[in-house]
């Protein structure tokens, strides 16, 4: 039997960074994302975000790649949001996402960071945060 435990921090935003995830629906959407991931055999440890993005702490299995995991989470959640008319306009996640590996020793700090998104973004913008991550990991905008 194969054993796999690869932790990742997955982040994705709404199309054009539209503020669709108002406080009234955010908790419901993130709860549904977690429940749906479990049904699909994905291990989603933590999920949270703000009005225009989501952070997920995931553990990849031997059956799922990061792109499959992102596709399952984003695809089904946008379908549910639209099917239940949780937003006045059609809801779409941005095609892109970013993900980094997380060491077992950093799991508690990553969970804390994810769960405190609303407080965190009172102090700094998502754009500032993206720039910091891009610099930290040596990513370039294409």
Query: Which domain range does residue 22 map to?
Result: 6-137
Q: Is residue 63 part of a domain?
A: yes
List the pLDDT tens digit at each of the 142 positions of the chain: 778 889 999 999 999 989 899 888 999 999 999 999 999 889 999 999 988 999 999 999 888 899 999 999 999 999 999 999 999 999 999 999 989 999 999 999 999 999 998 887 777 776 777 777 778 777 776 4
Distance of CA 30 to the CA centre of its chain: 9
pLDDT at 142: 46
The span from the CA of 129 to the CA of 63, in Å, is: 31
pLDDT at 87: 92
CA distances from 112 to 12, 47, 69, 134 (A): 18, 11, 22, 21
pLDDT at 127: 74
How many domains does the chain fold into? 1
Q: Is residue 142 part of a domain?
A: no
The span from the CA of 72 to the CA of 66, in Å, is: 10
Q: Is residue 87 part of a domain?
A: yes
Give the CATH number for residue 113: 3.30.70.1290
Q: To which H or E segment does residue 10 belong? A: strand 6-13
Q: Is residue 68 part of a domain?
A: yes
Q: Is residue 37 part of a domain?
A: yes
What is the per-residue DSSP string for 39-83?
Answer: HTT-EEEEEEEETTEEEEEEEE-SS--HHHHHHHHHHHHHHHHHH
Q: Is residue 1 part of a domain?
A: no
CB proximity list for 34: less than 8 A, separation 6 or greater = 44, 47
Q: Is residue 77 part of a domain?
A: yes
Asked if 93 contacts 77 with a C-beta cutoff of 8 angstroms, the reply is: yes
Asked if 97 contacts 70 with a C-beta cutoff of 8 angstroms, the reply is: yes
């Amino acid at each position: 039997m194969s054993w796999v435990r690869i932790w990742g921090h997955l982040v994705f935003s709404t199309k054009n960074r539209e503020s669709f995830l108002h406080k009234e629906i955010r908790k419901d959407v993130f709860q549904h994302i977690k429940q749906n991931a479990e049904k699909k055999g994905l291990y989603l440890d933590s999920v949270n975000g703000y009005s225009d993005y989501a952070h997920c702490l995931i553990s990849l299995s031997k059956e799922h790649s990061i792109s499959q995991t992102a596709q399952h989470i984003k695809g089904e959640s946008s379908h549910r949001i639209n099917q239940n008319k949780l937003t006045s306009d059609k809801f779409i996640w941005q095609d892109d996402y970013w993900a980094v590996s997380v060491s077992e020793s950093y799991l508690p700090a990553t969970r804390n960071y994810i769960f405190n998104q609303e407080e965190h973004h009172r102090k700094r913008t998502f754009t500032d945060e993206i720039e910091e991550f891009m610099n930290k990991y040596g990513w370039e905008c294409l």
